[in-house]
C-alpha cells in the first residue's frame, strides 16, 4: 500500500509513474487527499474535544472539593454534551478512515522510474540470453507425450480425482519432483537463506499484507467456513512472519527460503498454452524472500537475479532474463525480472521465475519496520523470487533432454534422483 505522505508530497509524480502501469490514478488520488484532509480535521476536533473534557473533569473535581456543587453540576452537563459530540466525531473518523483505506488498497505499487511503459509481454525488454537451444528431430515429443510414454505423470487420473490442472506424479516423475525441491532448497541454504516450512493456508490479514487481497481475490482458493485462503506462493506466509515486527538494521538483510505447494484458480485459462505442465492449479515451488534496507534493495535484487540464473545454468537449460514493462508487472511490484526457459519441443519460451522488488508496498501493509540505533523505525523493503517453480522446469528438462535412449538428467540432479536417465 502506498504511503499517504508520499502521495501528499508530489501527487502528480505518482500519477505519472502509475501511468507506466497503464493505471489512471488521478481521481483516486484526488479522493485520497480529500479524505485525508477530512480525517486530519476530524482527528483534531476529537483531540480538542477530549482535551476540553479532561480539563473540565479536573475542574469539576476541584469544585466539588471546594463545596461548589452547583457550579460543578453545570459543568457536568457540558461534559455530557462533549461526550455526545466525541461519539459523533469518533464515528465520523472511523468511517472516513475506512473509506480512505478502501481507496488506498486499490492503488498498485509505484513502478521504478526506469521501468518501460508497455501494454503486455510483447513490450518487455530482453536483458540477456544464456545457453544453447537444443536442436531436436521432427519426431521429438512434447512433454505431455513424454510423460505418457514413460508413465511418470498422469494428467487424466488427476482430472478424475480433482479436476484439470491437478496432475499425479508417478515413479521417476515423483522422484524428479522431490529431487528438484531438495536441490533448490539446498542451493538456497548454501547461499545464506534460512529454510522454513510454512503453512499452506493463510488468513485474510496475511493475504492482505502481501498484496494478494483485494487485487487477486478471484485467483485464490477460498475456505469459506474458516475464512482462510490456500496460498498462491510461499511468499505470502514467509513474508508475513515479519508482520508487525521491528527488526534491527544490523540484522538486515533477512533471508528465508521455503518449499510449498501453490494453489491458483487461474480462472479463464484454456487452450494450448495451458496444456500439460504449462499451467496448473496446484504446483510445487521453492521461494526465496529477503527483507532489506531501502538503500540496499536494488543491489540485492541484482544479487537474487544472478542467483536464479546460476541455478538454471546448473540445470543446463537455455534461458533468458526479461525486464517487465509496466503493463506486464504485478500489482505489488516496483521492478520485476522474469526468467524464461526454452522448451524445445513446443518451440517457445516458458516463464519459470519472477524476481521482484516491492520496495515499501508490502511492508507498509505489514507494518514491517527496522530501526537504526535509537532512531525512529522505518519501513523495510521486501523482495522475493521463484527459485524455482517446478512445472515448466520439468517440461523443459523432459523436452530438451530427450533421446532415443530416454530422458537424460543434468549432472547437478543425478545425486538427488539416483538415476541418470528416465527410460
Residue 126's DSSP bridge partners are 322
Residue that finishes a domain, picked among 69, 104, 139:
104
Q: Is residue 53, in this structure, part of any structural domain at all?
A: yes
Q: Does a structural domain hold residue 139?
A: yes
Q: Give the per-residue pLDDT at 94.
A: 97
Q: Is residue 301 part of a domain?
A: yes
Percent of the chain with pLDDT over 70: 98
**pLDDT at position 269, please?**
52
Average of per-residue pLDDT values in the chain: 94
Residue-wise DSSP of 269-329:
--SGGGTTTTS-SEEEEEEEEEEE-TTTHHHHHHHHHHHHHHHHHHTT--EEEEEPPGGGS
**Spatial distance between the Cα atoms of 76 and 88, rounded to a whole number of angstroms:** 19
Q: In the block, which residue shows the cell 461519539?
A: 87
pLDDT for 263 equals: 97
**274, 264 contact by CB (below 8 A):** no
C-alpha cell at 10: 508530489
Clarify whether residues 306 and 366 are in a common domain: yes
Given CA atoms 324, 329, 335, 337 in this order, what sign does their dihedral have?
Answer: negative
Chosen domain end from 73, 104, 135: 104
DSSP, collapsed to helix, strand or coil, labels residue 153 as: strand
Q: Are 409 and 419 in contact (CB under 8 A)?
A: yes
Pair (98, 148) in one structural domain = no
Q: Contact at 8 Å (CB) between 270 and 255?
A: no
Same domain, 190 and 77: no
**Whose grid coordinates read 546448473?**
314
One domain, residues 257 and 309? yes
The last residue of one of the domains, among 61, 79, 104, is 104
Rounded CA-CA distance 136/396 in Å is 13
Inter-residue contact 242 to 215 (CB < 8 Å):
no
- Judge whether 109 lies within some domain: no
Same domain, 156 and 100: no
All residue ranges of the chain with pLDDT < 50 are: none
Residue with cell 485464490: 220
In 3D, which of 105, 134, 310 has the Cα closest to residue 215? 105
On whether both 35 and 173 belong to a single domain, the answer is: no
pLDDT score, position 260: 98
79 falls within a domain? yes
**Residue 82 phi, psi dihedral angles, 5° rounding:** -65, -40
Residue 348 and residue 226 share a domain: yes
Closest-CA residue to 316 (of 393, 390, 403): 393
110 in a structural domain: no
Cα 155 to its chain centre, rounded Å, is 29
Q: Are residues 150 and 183 in the same domain?
A: yes
Tell me the residue range of the domain where 84 lies. Answer: 4-104
pTM of the model: 0.92
What's the CA angle centered on 120, arms 334 and 306, to 5 degrees? 50
Instruction: Find out whether 78 and 301 touch, Cβ atoms under 8 Å.
Output: no
Say if residue 194 is in the same domain as residue 95.
no
Residue (of 13, 34, 28, 12) closest to 102 by Cα position: 28
Residues facing 246 on adjacent strands: 369
Does any domain span residue 111?
Answer: no
Indicate whether 145 and 248 sit together in one domain.
yes
Q: Does residue 116 sit within a domain?
A: no
Alpha helices in 105-171 (DSSP H): 143-149, 155-161
Q: Which residue has the cell 506466509?
A: 237
Structural domains counted in the chain: 2
Same domain, 26 and 173: no
DSSP state of 334: S
Assign residue 76 the CATH number of its domain: 1.10.287.40
Q: What is the CATH number of the domain that holds 399?
A: 3.30.930.10
Q: What is the DSSP letter of 358?
A: -
What span, in angstroms and rounded, lies between the C-alpha atoms of 125 and 120? 11
**Cell numbers given for 380:** 523495510
**369-371/246-248 β-pairing:** parallel
Same domain, 186 and 57: no
Would you give the DSSP letter of residue 202?
A: E
Predicted confidence at residue 60, as pLDDT, reads 80
State pLDDT tens for residues 260-285.
Answer: 999 999 765 555 568 999 999 999 99
Amino acid at each position: 500500500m502506498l504511503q499517504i505522505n508520499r502521495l501528499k508530497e508530489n501527487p502528480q509524480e505518482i500519477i505519472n509513474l502509475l501511468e507506466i502501469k497503464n493505471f489512471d490514478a488521478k481521481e483516486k488520488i484526488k479522493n485520497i487527499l480529500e479524505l485525508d484532509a477530512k480525517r486530519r480535521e476530524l482527528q483534531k476536533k476529537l483531540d480538542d474535544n477530549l482535551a476540553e473534557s479532561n480539563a473540565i473533569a479536573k475542574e469539576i473535581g476541584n469544585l466539588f472539593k471546594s463545596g461548589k456543587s452547583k457550579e460543578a453540576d453545570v459543568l457536568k452537563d457540558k461534559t455530557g454534551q462533549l461526550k455526545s459530540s466525541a461519539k459523533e466525531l469518533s464515528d465520523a473518523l472511523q468511517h472516513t478512515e475506512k473509506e480512505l483505506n478502501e481507496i488506498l488498497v486499490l492503488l498498485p505499487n509505484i513502478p521504478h522510474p526506469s521501468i518501460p511503459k508497455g501494454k503486455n509481454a510483447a513490450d518487455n525488454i530482453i536483458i540477456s540470453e544464456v545457453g544453447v537451444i537444443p536442436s531436436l528431430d521432427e519426431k521429438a515429443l512434447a512433454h505431455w507425450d513424454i510423460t505418457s510414454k514413460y508413465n511418470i505423470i498422469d494428467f487424466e487420473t488427476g482430472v478424475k480425482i480433482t479436476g484439470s490442472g491437478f496432475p499425479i506424479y508417478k515413479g521417476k516423475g515423483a522422484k524428479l519432483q522431490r529431487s528438484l525441491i531438495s536441490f533448490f532448497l539446498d542451493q538456497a541454504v548454501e547461499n545464506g537463506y534460512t529454510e522454513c516450512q510454512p503453512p499452506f493456508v493463510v488468513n485474510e490479514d496475511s493475504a492482505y499484507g502481501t498484496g494478494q487481497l483485494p487485487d487477486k481475490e478471484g485467483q485464490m482458493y477460498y475456505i469459506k467456513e474458516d475464512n482462510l485462503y490456500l496460498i498462491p506462493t510461499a511468499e505470502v506466509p514467509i513474508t508475513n512472519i515479519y508482520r508487525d515486527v521491528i527488526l534491527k538494521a544490523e540484522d538486515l538483510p533477512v533471508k528465508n527460503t521455503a518449499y510449498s505447494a501453490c494453489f491458483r484458480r487461474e480462472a479463464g485459462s484454456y487452450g494450448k498454452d495451458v496444456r500439460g505442465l504449462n499451467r496448473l492449479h496446484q504446483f510445487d515451488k521453492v521461494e526465496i524472500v529477503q527483507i532489506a534496507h531501502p538503500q540496499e534493495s536494488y543491489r540485492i535484487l541484482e544479487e537474487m537475479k544472478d542467483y536464479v540464473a546460476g541455478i538454471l545454468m546448473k540445470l543446463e537449460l537455455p534461458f533468458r532474463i526479461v525486464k517487465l514493462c509496466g503493463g506486464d508487472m504485478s500489482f505489488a511490484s516496483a521492478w520485476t525480472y522474469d526468467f524464461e526457459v526454452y522448451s524445445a519441443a513446443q518451440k517457445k519460451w516458458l516463464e519459470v521465475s519472477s524476481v521482484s522488488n516491492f520496495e515499501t508496498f508490502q511492508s507498509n501493509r505489514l507494518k514491517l519496520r527496522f530501526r537504526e540505533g535509537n532512531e525512529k523505525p522505518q519501513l523495510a523493503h521486501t523482495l522475493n523470487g521463484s527459485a524455482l517453480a517446478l512445472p515448466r522446469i520439468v517440461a523443459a528438462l523432459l523436452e530438451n533432454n530427450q533421446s532415443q535412449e530416454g530422458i537424460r538428467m543434468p549432472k547437478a540432479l543425478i545425486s538427488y534422483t539416483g538415476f541418470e536417465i528416465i527410460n
